[in-house]
Structure 1
C-alpha cells in the first residue's frame, strides 16, 4: 500500500491538499508543522522540504511541494476522485492546472500582502501599509471576476465541484480574517458556505480541530 504523508498546519493553504486527500478517500498520515512556532525551520523538516513551508506531500519517500503541483499530481494519480475537470480535450483539461497555478501563484501572494505585509519589506510601517493596500486592491479586482463567474453557477466549473473551489474558498476566507471585506460578494459568500458544508471539507476540519488539542498548537478553533 502506498504510504502518503502530508505536512500541514491548521487553517493554512495545506488544508486544500488535505481536502483533496479526503475526496480521494485513500489513507494518509498528517504531520502537523507549527509554523507559528517556526517549526518549519527545524532541521528535520528542512530535510523533507527545504522551502520551509506547508504543504509538503511525501509519497513512498518522495517529497512533492507547491500546492498546484501536489494537487495536479493527486488529480492525475486518482482520476476517480474528479478533483479537476476531465473532458478528454488536452487544452480544456489543462485549464484546471492553469487555475491552480493562478490560485497559488497570483491570488495566494495577494493574501500574504494583506495578512502579513511585513514579510514583504524590511522598511517602515508606511511601506507595510502600502503593501497591504496594494494587495487589497489587487484581490478586490480578482474577486469581482470570481463573483461574476460564481453568480452564474454554483461551482467554479459549473455544476460540478472541483478542488479549485476549495482553493478559492481558502483565498477569500483567509483574506477576510484580516481586513478584506466580502460584504459586496454575495455569490462568493454563498459559494463559501457550500465549500464548508462539503463532507470532505468537514472531515478535514475535524482533523484540524483535533490537532489543536493533541499536538498543542496554540490556535483558536473558531478561526478555522
Structure 2
C-alpha cells in the first residue's frame, strides 16, 4: 500500500481529493499549506509543486499534481472504491476524463471569479462590482445545465455516486459560501444535501475544520467573503 500525503488548504479544490481519499478509506496524511503566509510559494513546497498550488499528492514521496490527474490515479489504483463508473470502453473512460476536466478547466475558473474576484483585477472594489457579477452570470448558465442533468438521478451519473459529485459538492459549497443565490437550482441543492449526509464527506470536512482552527490560532485564516 503506497504512503499518501495530500497537501491542502481550506476552501480550496483540495477538498475534492480529500473526499476521494476518505471514500477510498486508506490511511493518508494531510499537510496544511498556509496560503495567507504565501507558503505555497516557499522553496520547500515549490519542490513538490512548482506551480505553487494545492492539491498536491505525494505517492511514496513522488508528487502528483492537478485534480484531474490525482483523481484519475486514485480511481484506477483503488477500483473497489468506485470513484468513477467501471468501464472497459476507451471512449467511455475518456468521457469520464472529460467530465473531470470540465470541472477543473471550465467550472473552477468561474468559481474563482465569484469567490476570489480580487485575483482578476488589482482594484478590490471593482473586482466585486465587475468581476463577481459576470462570474455569477456565467455560473448561472453552468448550473442550469447541471440542474437539468441531475433530473435523471441524484448524482452526476444517475443513481451512482462518483468523485465528479465530490467536485460539484466543493463548487456549490464554495460559491454559496460567498452569497451565490442557488434557489433556481433545486436539484443541485438536493445534491448538496445528499452529499452532506455521506460519511466520507463529513470526515473530509472534519479534517478541513481542524486546519481552519489551526489557521485561526495563527491569525492566518481568511474566511470566504
Superposition TM-score, scaled by structure 2 size: 0.91
The CA deviation at 1:137 is 1.2
Structure 1 residue 25 corresponds to structure 2 residue 29: no
Question: Matches of residues 52-131 of structure 1 in structure 2 within 5 Å?
Answer: 52-122=52-122, 125-126=125-126, 129-131=129-131
- Contact 1:117 / 1:128 at 8 angstroms: preserved in 2? yes
**Partner in structure 2 of residue 185 of structure 1:** 185
* Number of aligned residue pairs: 222
Residue 41 of structure 1 corresponds to 41
Inter-CA distance 214–102: structure 2 relative to 1 (3 Å threshold)? same
- 5+ residue gaps, structure 1: none
Stretches of 4+ moved more than 2 A in 1? Answer: 121-131, 210-221
Deviations along 1:77-122, whole A, 9 cap, x unmatched?
1111110111222111222211111001110000101122221124
More moved, 158-167 vs 117-126: 117-126
Matched, 1:174 2:213: no
Work out the CA distance in 2 between the residues paired with 1:191 and 1:104.
19
8 Å CA contact 1:7, 1:31 repeated in 2: yes
> What is the CA–CA distance in structure 1 between the aligned matches of 2:58 and 2:151, rounded to whole Å?
37
| Contact 1:20-1:83 at 8 Å conserved across structures | yes
User: Given the two structures, how large is their TM-score scaled by the length of structure 1?
Assistant: 0.91
Whether the 8 Å contact between 1:114 and 1:179 is mirrored in structure 2 is no
Contact in 2 for aligned 1:56/1:65 (Cα 8 Å)? yes
Conserved 8 A contact 1:117-1:129? no
In the TM superposition, residue 21 of structure 1 has moved relative to its aligned partner by 0.6
**Superposition pairs of residues 127-206 of structure 1, within 5 angstroms:** 129-206=129-206
Q: Name the residue aligned to 2:211.
A: 211
Q: What is the alpha-carbon distance in structure 2 between the residues aligned to residue 157 and residue 7 of structure 1?
A: 28
